[in-house]
Structures are given as C-alpha cells and as structure tokens.
Structure 1
C-alpha cells in the first residue's frame, strides 16, 4: 500500500498482538516506525522479527499510558525521532473481566486511566504538531465494546465508549482547521491475542487465562491487513471481526430491545 511508504507511524501497544501485527505489516510497506509499550525488551523482539532491511527505520520508545505526567515528553521524543509523526495508532490498553458489582472502583479508574486518559493524553499532545503541518492521521483501536455493552466488561466498555465520544468530537474540530487531518476509529471483534490473559479482574489481579472466543478469533495478521486498507481509505469508523460480534453492533443500533433481551441471556465471560 503506497499510502504508508515513507510515512512515520507511531504505534502504542506495539509489543504484542494487534500492535505487533501492525508493525510487521507496516514495515513491509515501507513505513518508518516508532514502537511504544511498557516492555522495552518486547519492543526489541518485535523490531528484530521485522525484515532486516526495514529495521534501520524502526525506533523504540518505551511508554506507560498510565503515567500521565510522562506523556508530553514522550510525544516530544517521538516527534524528534524522525522529525515528524504522520500517523498515530492508539493501540495500547488493558481489558477487564468481572461483574460490575464485584469490581473495585480503583480497578475501573485504572482501566479508564490507561484506555481513555492515556490514549487521549498522547493524542492531545500530538495534535499541535499535526496542526502545524496541516496533515496527519489519528487512528484509535477501540472495540465492539465501544458500541455495545456485555456482562463482565463494564469498565472496559465504559472506557471504549468514552473514546468514541472524544474522537468523534475531535474529528469535527480538526476538520475546521485542516481537511487533511483524519481520524479513524477501529472496532475489532474477537482477535486472537493475549489481551484476556492480561485483563484485570474485580480486585485488580490479572485473569491469566484465555477465553474461548478470543482463542478462536481472527488472527491478528489478517486483522492488520484489513485495518490498514481501511485506514488508507481514510474511513471514519470500521468494524472488523467475526459475523457474531459485528452483527451485535448492528442489532444494538437498529433493534435495541431485541439486543437487550439476547445479551441478558448470553453466556459471556
């Protein structure tokens, strides 16, 4: 895809799963990459697995989205690495698996801090740079949980819903200043990653197991190819996943009462 050749793409949550798959695919398309996540050694591994000829154009920038006081400096460091950032892919985040009544408030705050405040923090600090260049593309990996809510995901769904409100508003605001700054929200369904392994439970501990739906989900490599095509077409919102979860989004939109009846009985964990 010519859209990515030579472009500087900053990916958060690049140490595994969707972020790793996007890194591999973008490297093949000639993008210059900035990889961010908490674990530097995993970022180095991801870089090392890219084609050798592309590794000179890959930079490592450790980032913890929960540390809001470091985000401004991280954005400045990212810009300095190649002198610009053309695309920001907000992919970093954590998931949650627990009933709302059994989830400590501080756990909800933790999920919101990483998935919402960390994401919009990076974005807010980068926006002035994009406006100065009158061009850019902000992509946020949300979830179908940003469009619906199911049991055991109240905190996660809340954070993802919040992202939609923020980025829909931001898109409208940026359009008034430059029609060449684009905002894309991506809603994955079940993707075969380790996200549920690291999901937080009601007391803040890690789930440490894979759920069946994730284990049989779409391979991240296929997801990456699909989402990069959608981004290149500058789509505003895109749903990528299996039939069941994408159908749920449309059922919620057009037949909300029917959706509610079904989701009350659904066996989801």
Structure 2
C-alpha cells in the first residue's frame, strides 16, 4: 500500500501509539482523521499532521461513532485505512478485580473496536479496497498475570479480526492484526486497577520499551508490505509472540473456504 493521498482514520490518536501512527503516516503523504476523547490533545497532534480532521468522541457512544463515521467518509470521499487502536489496560489480580472493571475493559477494548470496524466494512467492500488494522497486544497471544480482562479482550479482538479477514478475503479489503509488546507510552499509568481507578504509575518494562515512533514505523511498513499478523516487540516478548504466531498457510486455508462458497452454503442451510 502506498499511503500518499490515502485517508487514514486512527482511534486513540491523542497520545502514544495512535499519535505516533498519525505523525508517521501523515509524513508519508496520507490525510489523517484523529479520534479520541480529548479534543485539545487531538488538536495538538493534528498540528504536525498536514491534512487532518479531528473527530473527538467516546468510543462507547455508538451514536457519536455513527456520526463520526459519516463525517470521516465524507471528508475526502472515503476511508482507506482504519486503525482500531483505542483501549485501556489493566493491572490487578483476578481474585481482587471488580466485575465492573471487566465490563468497562470489554466495552472499550473489544465491543467499541468491533463497532468501529462494523461501521466501515460496508463502505470499504462497496469500494473494493481498504485496510483495517486492529491493535491487539502480545497479551492477546499469551495470558499475562495481572491482566485477565486485558488478555480476554485482546485475544477476542484478534479472533474477530481473523474471522473478518476470511470473510473479506474476496473483496479487496485487507485485515491486519498488530501485536505490540512493551511500547513506551502511558498505557501502564492509565491502566485500571481492581476498583476501576487509574493506576497512576508506569512499569519499568513499559518505560524501557520500544519508542512509540519506532513501533509506528514498523506497523506501517508491515501493513504496506501486506503482512497480516504484525508482531512489534523485543526480547522475551518478541519470542512469545513468534512462538504463538499463526502460520500464513492457516490464514490462506480459511480464506480458501470462503472462496469455495463456505458462507453461501452455510447461509443456504438456514
């Protein structure tokens, strides 16, 4: 994919990986749509992004999402690349964690990201082109202590994306799942603890992680190359991700089922 002249929509764009993606892809000539809850921070990111449209909203507000989707599509006549990047992490033992924390993380990190994608797949398939990129995590490959809710949603997001990729395999729309390890952002500081409050401090692993601009560059390079499963990690985390990497042959096998009429046959059975 050549990003020049394309329109990319990024959620969670006010900081961290989202902001780094916005700056990098804008530098490659793309028009960017920036979404998140904090309009002032989005506007600050937009200043360094050339052609940019700021659409602030809470990803859990489906009416606001629908309105933003219509505006994003209308701005330049279509959305070519969408990053489902918004999310919140967790740092608490399952034994001590409130069910409301699970509900909140599922709502933000999984249900809202699916809704974001569902609002775009009709548009992209009608055009016969486009790319959807879902930011999962190495915690979506390997169950990590103190992150039971986070692991559940990141595994779930990858499952949705992999199934969606197969369904869209004959449409010209590509689907990419990104598995970052520790990236130097505020993800740990903003993580929810057992009672649902923010942790307020970072992790050493995060602070010493991959710089967000380096991570964003790898993500965009791999999407441009057509890579379906993108692991962005180092050290032990990279080893974990590679150990659990899905073989391309398996993706191809499932896509072949679609090409051979699997969905039509299943629908005909009622």
Q: TM-score, normalised by structure 2?
A: 0.88
1:241 to 226, 233, 236: 233
Cα offset, 1:70, TM superposition: 2.7
1:30-88 per-position Cα deviation (integer Å, ceiling 9, x unaligned) = 1011000000000011112x1xxx53x11100021122343222211211122210000
CA distance in 1, matches of 2:3, 2:17: 17
Which position in structure 1 is the counterpart of 2:29? 30
1:118-166 per-position Cα deviation (integer Å, ceiling 9, x unaligned) = 1010100111100110110000111001101111000000000001110
2:79 to 64, 85, 89: 85
CA distance in 2, matches of 1:46, 1:162: 30
1:187 to 179, 183, 200: 179
1:215 to 186, 204, 207: 207
Whether 1:156 aligns to 2:150 is: yes
SS in 2 for 1:239: strand
Q: Which sections of structure 2, spanning at least 5 residues, go unmatched?
A: 247-270
SS in 1 for 2:176: strand
Cα offset, 1:195, TM superposition: 0.8
CA gap of 1:72–1:250, structure 2 versus 1, over 3 A, is same
CA distance in 2, matches of 1:96, 1:33: 29
Q: TM-score, normalised by structure 1?
A: 0.88
C-alpha RMSD of matched pairs (Å)? 1.4
SS in 2 for 1:41: helix
Which position in structure 2 is the counterpart of 1:265? none
Quick check: 2:231–2:242 contact (8 Å CA) kept in 1?
Answer: no
CA distance in 2, matches of 1:218, 1:253: 20
CA gap of 1:212–1:122, structure 2 versus 1, over 3 A, is same
Cα offset, 1:240, TM superposition: 0.8
Whether 1:147 aligns to 2:156 is: no
Which position in structure 2 is the counterpart of 1:258? none
SS in 1 for 2:210: coil
CA distance in 1, matches of 2:87, 2:173: 24
CA distance in 1, matches of 2:211, 2:96: 32
Which position in structure 2 is the counterpart of 1:8? 7
CA distance in 1, matches of 2:142, 2:62: 28
